[in-house]
Amino acid sequence: MTEAVLDASVVLKWFRQTREERTDQARALRADFEAGELTVFAPPLLFLEIINVAARRWRWSHEALFELAAQLEQAAFELQEPDLPALAKWVGRGLTAYDAAYVALAEALGIPLVTDDDLIVEVARGIVAPLGQIGESPKQ
């Protein structure tokens, strides 16, 4: 896999201090990205989701959030807005607008969406490469 859309469920594991399920697979993607072996696409809302979780759920300090924002700004992610009618199609199939943004972008680009979100995996089969299967042969 040389190009992929990554959603917040994956990229958050790059910054989480404590280990959780499938952290190793997410960090392997980070290593590929940092080595220039993976181009990461995402809708711009990815950064908002990451900062929100770090602030609200993880309760990071102002200083840590500022550093996180700086790291995100420096990340060479290819940020693209998804097509709204395509996003609406996925919302109509049961996804939130936020999750649908990742699916619609991956579908438009013709590349896999890597996610650790079970609902996205169920709804968007054929577009999704579940994080738990990275290292195996993910669906494309």
**Using one digit for the tens of pLDDT, what is the confidence trace for 110-131?**
999 999 999 999 999 999 999 9
Instruction: Note the pLDDT tens digit of each residue in 36-55.
Output: 999 999 999 999 999 999 99
Burial 20-55 (b: 16+ CB within 10 A, else e): eebbebbeebbebbeeeebebbbbebbbebbbebbe
Token output for 55: 């602030």
Residue 139's pLDDT band (cuts 50, 70, 90): very low
Instruction: Note the pLDDT tens digit of each residue in 43-91.
Output: 999 999 999 999 999 999 999 999 999 999 999 999 999 999 999 999 9
Indicate whether this model's pTM tops 0.75: yes
Domains and CATH numbers, the chain: 3-133 (3.40.50.1010)
Quote the Cα angle for 47-129-82, to 5°.
45
Q: Find the helix packing angle between 8-15 and 45-56, rounded to 10°.
A: 50
State the pLDDT at residue 138: 38
d(CA 89, CA 33): 30
State the pLDDT at residue 140: 36
Q: Which residue has the higher pLDDT, 12 or 17?
A: 12
Please state the separation of Cα 19 from the chain's center in Å: 18
Token output for 84: 């709204």
